[in-house]
Amino acid sequence: RVDILVNNAGITGMAEGFGPQDPENASLNSWKKVHAVNAEGTFLGCKYAIIHMKNHGGSIVNISSRSGNVGLGSMAAYASSKAMVRNHTKSVALWCCSNRYPIRCNSVHPAAIDTPLWDPIVSGPSKKQKIEKMVQEIPMGHMGEPEDVAYAVLYLASEESKFITGAELLVDGGILAGSAASPGAIHPKENI
C-alpha cells in the first residue's frame, strides 16, 4: 500500500560533469540525462502512485525548484525539467480530481537551500564571496535549511492540507515574491 509519494530525485547536470548546460552549448545527451532523472522520474513516480493510490487515496508531493518557475540561461535543462515537474503536478491533480480519485498532488519549489547541490555552482577561490552575494539577494537574508523543505513536504503530505491539490509551495526565503527589476524591493531601507 502506498499512501504518500515524495518525488525528490533531481540533478543539475553541472555537479554530474555533463558539460555546459546553456541552450546553445548543452549536448542533447546531457539534456536527456537531466530530463531522465528530473522529468521522467517524476512522471513515472506519479503514474505508478496513482495506480496504487486511486482506491484508498493518498498524497503525491513533487519537488520542483524555484528554477521551475523562472528560466536559467546557464542551466536550461535543469530549469525546463523542473518546469515540467511544476506543470505535471497540476495535470496529475486535475486528472485525479476528474476521475474522483482521492489523491492530492502538489509541488514544493525550494531555492537557496544550504545543501551540497550548491558546491559546483559556488566552488572556487571566490566561494565565500559567491555565497555572500547570493544571500544578499534573499529577502529573508539567509539560506534555507533542508528541514525547511522537509516541513513543507510534511504539511502537503499530511491531512492538514486535505483541501489543497495542484498547488505549488515556494520555500525560497521570499526570492520570487520580489524582483531584481524592482530596486529596493529586497532590502528597501538600505536603498534610501
Pick the catalytic residue from 48, 78, 101, 155.
78
Name the least confident of 22-31, 71-80, 179-188.
179-188
Identify the pLDDT of residue 161: 99
78 catalytic residue (yes or no): yes
Q: Would 66 be classed as within a structural domain? A: yes
pLDDT at 182 over 50: no
User: What global pTM score does this model have?
Assistant: 0.89
Residue-range definition of the domain harbouring residue 35 = 4-175
Convert the pLDDT of each residue in 85-133 to its tens digit.
Answer: 999 999 999 999 999 999 999 999 999 998 887 777 777 788 788 888 8
How many distinct structural domains can be found in the chain?
A: 1
Which residue(s) pair with 171 in the sheet?
A: 110
Q: What does the block give as the cell for 129?
A: 564571496
pLDDT score at 38: 97
Interval 49-56 mean pLDDT: 98
Q: Among all chains, which residue has been given the C-alpha cell 482521492?
A: 102
Q: How much is the pLDDT for 191?
A: 40
Residue 181 in any domain: the answer is: no
Q: How far apart are CA 33 and CA 134, in angstroms?
A: 27
Q: What percent of the chain has pLDDT over 70?
A: 92
The CATH number of the domain holding residue 94 is 3.40.50.720
- Residue 9 falls inside a structural domain: yes
User: For the purposes of burial, counting CB atoms within 10 Å of the CB of 55, is it exposed (0-12), middle (13-18) or buried (19 or more)?
Assistant: exposed
The answer as to whether 22 is a domain residue is yes
